[in-house]
Chains A and B, each alone.
Chain A
Amino acid sequence: MSTNETAAGSASGTATEEFDLFATMALIRAFETRVSELYRDSEIPGFVHTSLGQEAVAAGVGSALADGDYVATTHRGHGHCLARGMDVEAMMAELFARGEGICHGKGGSMHIADPAKGVLGANAIVGASLPLGVGAALSSKLLGQGRVSAAFFGEGAVNQGAFHEAVNLAAIWDLPALLVCENNIYAEFSDSRRMTRVPGVADRAATYGIESETVDGNDVLAVNELALAAAARCREGAGPFLIEAETYRWHGHYEGDAQPYKPEHEATAWRERDPLVVSRTRLLGTGVAAEQLDEIENQASTRVEASIERARQLPPPELEEAYADVYGE
């Protein structure tokens, strides 16, 4: 959008970098594909929202962040957590509601978090990641932490007051906040283009006096290059930056949603632009062998299967866990 020159082009992707990004996407794909099945089979309780089809945004942005950087995410947050290096086994155990889960079985898919990795949590309130992420950016600035705070949100969240208030605060306080909109076209069941007259989320940034750019959210290299530049910009003290990544949600709003509201063929067209296929095609073009990429995908599946086998064996939380951590001493 307004700042191609500022944000893009400072980093150039190499095959090695894209290879790692592909591996992150493969892990997210393997994890969520199996989680979707396990939910269908009633092995995972509660509500589950997957980001299948959107892996390039999580991998591209997640890989652009540094150790210590903050991430505040959404109910559709597995990918962001995995891209920030959260432990697959501890995540799967949490989704299975086990006592050894990363949140001791008290968070679940919608609230999964690992503050030690900077992940302040998935969040089940649409738009909540924005004020929280901006608050983390405030800590970074006032305490001199030198950290970037990435707040992920969907395009459905931009009609919430929380979006407008938080973006304005990030702007007036010049905070190192990376505001990442995953525009997957659907706000829960509704085509979000019917919910606003403003065509692009990035357009809204200008109304708060901050810079933004739209990127192909199914091209992991493009997302990563933009996020690297935007994060560097935040770190230099240039204030917040908004990324709008255009992508598509393959599954329903939640697992089990049959999506009767989606037009025919729409999904087919987007699946042809599967972010893993886009990346694989480019990698093959640079001379990477298909077998290598297959191997990456196999390794991801093996890792996920092992986490499932382990989670199945784990006991539920002890009853005392229900009463722990309400208040701190």
Chain B
Amino acid sequence: MSTASEVKPEARYIDALGEGMALALEEDERVIVLGIDVGAGGGIFRVTKGLHERFGDERVIDAPISEMGYVGAAVGAAMTGLRPIVEIMFMDFVGVCMDPILNQAAKLRYMTAGALEIPVVFRMQTGAGRSAGAQHSQSLEAWFAHVPGLKVVLPATVADARDLMLDAVHDPNPVVFVENRRLYAMRGDAEAERLPLGKARVARPGDDVTVVTWGQMLRECLSAAEESEASLEVIDLRSLAPLDLDTVVESVRRSGRLLIVHEAVQDFGAGAEIAARVGDLLFDELRTPVRRLGAPAVPMPFSPDLERALLPTSKAISSAAEGLKAEG
């Protein structure tokens, strides 16, 4: 199903995000957008451009540089009737406002036996590859996927930027919504098939190696699939929580090989969880060990040359997949 939308095919990811928020604001007056510079300024990346003009001061609200305060207030507001979309400008900044997410939003439904509902979307922009340095480049999605009570979605396509935004706003749970800024300028099909939040998409069918990924790395994996001598089945998870393991398992049953690719640091990353689960379920059906590709365990350096050397590339993905195929 596709949403009635002003986003035309070949729209940009960033516009689809704005369109998702605009649709949410339009259909439900309880929805507000809250964050630093999201108002008349339109946000530092211009993701909320035009929303303030359309919906006004009380719906699109500029916050002071006070993440703990306004993210906490968004959680309190979600408990009492509003449906806030709250922006954390860089995912790295979540360090100063973790309590409202970790201890409040994720826990209060449970601790009140369902008496409180917390429909809040935490938008976080992330992504290495722009020389932004160690405090503006981290992919921390595994932190949130580790906390019961949170959903974690990572749209990798233009259509998902809009559709997952709407799904996140409609969801009765707190949703961490991760946007990779290297995708902002990406153009793509805004009318692609709509899947529910929690369902992975087979982005490209293939036979030899199942490649599981999410976020910005989807593009690298699809390029790798183009270039590789092996036939790759690329799965875009779309969300880590919920985790659509069924789609992964179904694919690995056919291919017998699994490669997990993410931009986040590989050590203790979400890839480890997926590898463990697949290993547990399909030990006898795997032709080779499960492999992971992620960033090495170092802070992201400023130097563009160093940074480039640390991030998985389509070439590295393609070689890893070919290596798996050669192994067995």
Query: CB < 8 Å: which of A121, A131, A132, A161 contacts B111?
Result: A121
B104 touches A114 (CB 8 A): no
A116 interfacial contact with B, CB 8 Å: yes
B68 touches A165 (CB 8 A): yes
A166 touches B73 (CB 8 A): yes
A136 touches B113 (CB 8 A): no
B108 interfacial contact with A, CB 8 Å: yes
Query: CB < 8 Å: which of A114, A136, A164 contacts B115?
Result: A114
- Known contacts A139-B82, A326-B110, A133 near B76 by CB under 8 Å: yes
B79 touches A132 (CB 8 A): yes
A326 touches B72 (CB 8 A): no
Chain A residues positioned under 8 Å from B30 (CB to CB): 143
A107 touches B76 (CB 8 A): no
Query: CB < 8 Å: which of B32, B58, B76, B117 contacts A134?
Result: B76
- Nearest-neighbour CB distance to chain A for B95, whole angstroms, equals 12
Identify the A interface with B (CB < 8 A).
70, 72, 102-104, 106-107, 111, 113-116, 120-121, 123-125, 128, 130-140, 142-143, 145, 149, 161-162, 164-166, 168-169, 172-173, 321, 324-329
Chain B residues positioned under 8 Å from A165 (CB to CB): 64, 66, 68-70, 72
Query: CB < 8 Å: which of A106, A125, A132 contacts B110?
Result: A106
Please list 29 pairs of residues, one from A and one from B, whose beta carbons are closer than 8 Å in the complex, sorted by A's number.
Answer: A103-B113, A106-B110, A106-B111, A113-B111, A115-B112, A120-B76, A120-B80, A121-B116, A128-B103, A128-B104, A131-B68, A131-B73, A132-B76, A132-B79, A132-B100, A133-B76, A136-B76, A136-B77, A139-B76, A140-B80, A145-B80, A161-B68, A165-B64, A165-B66, A165-B68, A168-B66, A169-B73, A325-B110, A326-B110
B9 interfacial contact with A, CB 8 Å: no
- Nearest-neighbour CB distance to chain B for A239, whole angstroms, equals 15
Chain B residues positioned under 8 Å from A168 (CB to CB): 64, 66, 69
The residue on B at minimum CB distance from A325 is: B114
- Nearest-neighbour CB distance to chain B for A66, whole angstroms, equals 15
Chain A residues positioned under 8 Å from B72 (CB to CB): 128, 130-132, 134-135, 162, 165-166
A328 touches B172 (CB 8 A): yes
Q: How far is the CA of A149 from the CA of B73 in the complex (A)?
A: 12
Chain A residues positioned under 8 Å from B151 (CB to CB): 327
B58 touches A142 (CB 8 A): yes
Query: CB < 8 Å: which of A111, A121, A131, A169 contacts B100?
Result: A131
Identify the B interface with A (CB < 8 A).
30, 32, 58, 61, 63-64, 66, 68-82, 96, 99-100, 103-104, 107-117, 148-149, 151, 172-173
B73 touches A135 (CB 8 A): yes
- Nearest-neighbour CB distance to chain B for A158, whole angstroms, equals 14
A135 touches B79 (CB 8 A): yes
- Nearest-neighbour CB distance to chain A for B203, whole angstroms, equals 26
B69 touches A113 (CB 8 A): no
Query: CB < 8 Å: which of B66, B103, B107, B109 contacts A169?
Result: B66
B82 touches A113 (CB 8 A): no
Q: How far is the CA of A149 from the CA of B71 in the complex (A)?
A: 17
A125 touches B111 (CB 8 A): no
What are the 3 tightest A-B residue pairs by CB atom distance, in nearest-first order?
A135-B76, A131-B72, A165-B69
The residue on A at minimum CB distance from B100 is: A131
Chain A residues positioned under 8 Å from B78 (CB to CB): 135
A132 touches B104 (CB 8 A): yes
Q: How far is the CA of A120 from the CA of B107 in the complex (A)?
A: 12
A115 touches B172 (CB 8 A): no
A131 touches B76 (CB 8 A): yes
- Known contacts A135-B72, A169-B69, A143 near B109 by CB under 8 Å: no
The residue on B at minimum CB distance from A169 is: B69
Chain A residues positioned under 8 Å from B69 (CB to CB): 131, 134, 161-162, 164-166, 168-169
- Nearest-neighbour CB distance to chain B for A178, whole angstroms, equals 14
Chain A residues positioned under 8 Å from B64 (CB to CB): 165, 168-169, 172
Q: How far is the CA of A134 from the CA of B107 in the complex (A)?
A: 19
